[in-house]
Structure formats: structure tokens, C-alpha cells
Amino acid sequence: MGEGILKDGIAAGRLAENQYVSNFADLHPPFEAHEAFVEADRCYFCYDAPCQTACPTSIDIPLFIREILTDNPLGAAETIFQQNILGGMCARVCPTEQLCEEACVREAAEGKPVKIGMLQRYATDVAMNQGVQFFERAAPSGKRVAIVGAGPAGLACAHRLSMHGHEVTIYDARPKAGGLNEYGIAFYKTIDNFAQREVDYVTAIGGISIETGKILGEHFSLSDLTGKFDAVFLGMGLGGVNALRADGEDADGVDNAVDFIATLRQAEDLGALPVGRRVVVIGGGMTAIDAAVQSKLLGAEEVTMVYRRGKEQMSASGFEQDLAAAKGVNIRHWLAPKRVITNAGKVTGIELDYMRLDAERLVATGETTTIACDQVFKAIGQTLATDGEGVRLSGGKIEVDDEGHTSMAKVWAGGDCATGGDDLTVTAVAEGRDAAESINRFLRGN
């Protein structure tokens, strides 16, 4: 039997200890001050800046870049936090190549945008490392708001409500706050316990208490909350996972990619985390990329991502796809799972249908192929893990209007669990913040 990456089956300790450290190090090491100056100097400070329009939280990007250039990183951080109190995390995880940096005029002119995300990280790191707080609470309003979910949507909502003087209680099912910032985002994008440091930074404004291990639908109901609080915000994300709908999907070795990533994010010793020698990841989004890349970084010998449509239809950005390829992940298109092949209950391979489009419909061609593997990760999308507790659903999500208001009086929703978003951290922040403004108008009767 082989050792290290050649160990058959699902095994831990495939790499030497120091390899885990280098494999999971910061993906983009932060700018030094002089690098930030040089990069900030590339900005044209455009009028009606397209980068700002492309940002879901509408950060005044030219202003904060100018503040960096004038050696005022704290001013830059304040500009960022005014719009996005989780600007530190967004600087690390936003697909900037699809948002602000794609819109940057220097991208159009020379294919080299201003590195807005890196500059945002530089400014927010300065403020957070110094513990500088920019916002104070208004006089107490006497109103109490309950929030379900301490992810980006819930935290952004809580901070804005607290600024307006309301008292906030956040309930979260997990042992730690942060949502997918703590349990989902790839390890190498948010090192050094940044997610928890950010939760502490956001809640330092005061007036926000977080109760972990409290599950809506189990420990309390929505009507309990509407009875006890003046308003409720639902920001519970998408806790369920779509099924593969392939024979053998219950076999030993077929795992949910989101659970694998959550375990990885909480691991104290990455060397103790088991991973297959040959891994297949089913899906074409960010979760699939993260599961594939991190399997490779844990020492899997072969990692193949399979997606049922073409490269252009993958929801993972071009940058993410390139990152996966650079880490040695093989991405294959137009393949859909047909059957998980097992021996004595364990995965030994996966049979896949070749797919094609027939008048816009995805159909199997009739030809199949097989990939030998000992672990299969499902990463084909998440679903709402509740029946909505009385709020109206639409397309499997909580239906909200432009202000985040649900069908129920006193109840708002935002982030991944609500209709309209694009399942990004930054969008969840924007929706949480905007719902808080709507709740504040409601509580103040205007």
C-alpha cells in the first residue's frame, strides 16, 4: 500500500506538516504601505466611477483610493465601512474580477484594472488592527429586533440597526457566529481567524447580543419572535443541499462539499483531515472550486471537477477556474453523474453521461465515461432548510420586496435565503444593511 499522496482510499496525513502550512497560506498576501501608494496612484479618480456602480454595496471607491494616496488609510477605511461594515471580508472574498475591477476603466484600456480589492484590504486592515471604531449608537430607541443568522446579512443588518439605537439579538444555529465567512469561505482566503475578528469588530459598536446554538424551528418559532420583538430579520442562508439524483449517491465516500469545507475551516490540524486519493467534485460554482482546490491542497493525487454544461456557463469566475487549474485540478465539461460505482459499499468510481444542448434543453447524448475515484463531493447548489414558517416562498427562497420586506408584517429577510440576490458575501451585506434601513423607518413610523 502506498504512502502519502499514494495512499489508496480516503486517508489523513498525505503531506508533510510544513506543506499544509504553505499550501493553505494567504492567497493574496497584503500590500505593504508603499505598494498601496503605487497602486492607488494608478487610479484616474473617475467621475461617475464605473467601479462604484459595479459594487453591490456602492462603496465610494475613487474617494477611498484618494484617501490612501494622501496617506489617510483610516479615512479610507471609514469611507469603506460607511457602506459595507464587512469591507474587510469582502476585500478578501469578493470576485472583484466580475464586479468593480471588471468595470475599472484601466481594465478596458489595458487589461490591468486598479487592484481595488487589495487596496480595500489594506485600508480596512489598518483600521481593524488598530481597533479604530468609526460609528456610534444613536440614543436608545426602546425598540428590540431579532435576527436569525449571524452570517454577513445578519451581521450587517445588526450593525446598522444598532447605529440607529435599536437593541438587537442574533440567534444562530452554529456554535460560532460568522455564517459562511466562518464555515464556508476557502481557508486560504481568510486566514488568521479573520472571520471571528471581524464579528468582534462589527459587534463592538454595542447593543448587539449573539446567542449561538439556537435554531429557528427547533428552539423557537417565528411567531415566538414576532410576539417578543418589534421586528424580525431572517438571514439564515441556505442550509440544505441538492441531491445528485444518481444511483449509489448514499455510498460511503459520497460527501457534501459544504460539510467538507466547514470541517476543514474548523480543523485545528489539517494533517488529521482525511481526503481521497482520487477525488471527483460535481458542480460548476464557487463551492465546487473550493472543494476541489482544497482537496488538492490536502494532498489528493488526482482531483477532477465535472460540470454538466460548458466553461462559459460555470458560475465560478474565470479567476476561480484558473486558480483551480493552476493548483492541478482537472476541469471537465458536458458531463453529468449517472451512477456512483461501489465495491463493498465504498466508492470506487463514477459513471457520467456526456451531455449536449438540444434546442436549449440539456440532454444526455447516450455516450458515457467512467472516472476512477474514492471520494465524490456534491457541490450542486444549496437550498433553504426551512419551510419558511409562514412567510411566502418563491422559487425556493423567501420572497421579499425591494426593501427586503417579506409577506409577513414585522418580518424582513436578506442574503442567500431571500429572493433577488446572487449568493455573494457582498450582496448579503448590502441586503442586510438595506433591510435595517427599512426596519428603522418602520420602527420610527416613517
Ligand X SMILES: Cc1cc2nc3c(=O)[nH]c(=O)nc-3n(C[C@H](O)[C@H](O)[C@H](O)COP(=O)(O)OP(=O)(O)OC[C@H]3O[C@@H](n4cnc5c(N)ncnc54)[C@H](O)[C@@H]3O)c2cc1C
Which residues of the shown chain bind ligand X in the complex (CB under 6 A)?
Answer: 93-94, 148-154, 171-174, 179-180, 184-185, 189, 215-217, 235-237, 239, 258, 261, 286-287, 290, 385-386, 415-417, 423-426, 428
| Cβ-contact 399, 378 below 8 angstroms | no
Out of ligand SF4, ligand X, none, what residue 105 binds, judged by CB under 5 to 8 A for its kind, is: ligand SF4
Q: How far is the CB of 86 from ligand X (least distance, A)?
A: 10
* β-strand partners of 383: 240
Instruction: Between 45 and 252, name the residue whose CB sits nearer to ligand SF4.
Output: 45
Q: How far is the CB of 149 from ligand X (least distance, A)?
A: 3
Out of ligand X, ligand SF4, none, what residue 11 binds, judged by CB under 5 to 8 A for its kind, is: none
Out of ligand SF4, ligand X, none, what residue 15 binds, judged by CB under 5 to 8 A for its kind, is: none
The beta-strand segments (E) located in 235-309 are 240-241, 254-256, 275-276, 278-282, 302-306
Angstrom distance (rounded) from CA 242 to CA 252: 18
Angstrom distance (rounded) from CA 296 to CA 278: 9
Indicate which single residue of 45, 193, 204, 370 sits in contact with ligand SF4 (rule: CB under 6 A).
45
With CB under 6 A as the rule, give the number of residues binding ligand SF4. 15
Q: Does 46 bind ligand SF4 (CB under 6 A)?
A: yes
Q: How far is the CB of 119 from ligand SF4 (least distance, A)?
A: 9
φ, ψ dihedrals at 417, nearest 5°: -75, -15
Q: Does 66 bind ligand SF4 (CB under 6 A)?
A: no
Label residue 61 exposed, middle or buried (CB < 10 Å: 0-12, 13-18, 19+).
buried
Q: How far is the CB of 24 from ligand X (least distance, A)?
A: 15
Angstrom distance (rounded) from CA 315 to CA 163: 35
Q: How far is the CB of 423 from ligand X (least distance, A)?
A: 4
Round the CA-based radius of gyration of the chain to a whole number and report it. Answer: 23
Query: What amino acid is encoded at 322 in this protein?
Result: D
Q: DSSP of 112-146, one letter per residue?
A: ----HHHHHHHHHHHHHHTT-----PPSP-S-EEE
Out of ligand SF4, ligand X, none, what residue 44 binds, judged by CB under 5 to 8 A for its kind, is: ligand SF4
Angstrom distance (rounded) from CA 347 to CA 343: 7
φ, ψ dihedrals at 188, nearest 5°: -75, -5
Out of ligand SF4, ligand X, none, what residue 59 binds, judged by CB under 5 to 8 A for its kind, is: none
Q: How far is the CB of 122 from ligand SF4 (least distance, A)?
A: 14
Closest alpha carbon to 274 in 299, 291, 304? 299
Q: How far is the CB of 121 from ligand SF4 (least distance, A)?
A: 15
Which residues here bind ligand SF4, judged by CB under 6 A? 43-46, 49-51, 61-62, 65, 104-106, 114, 116
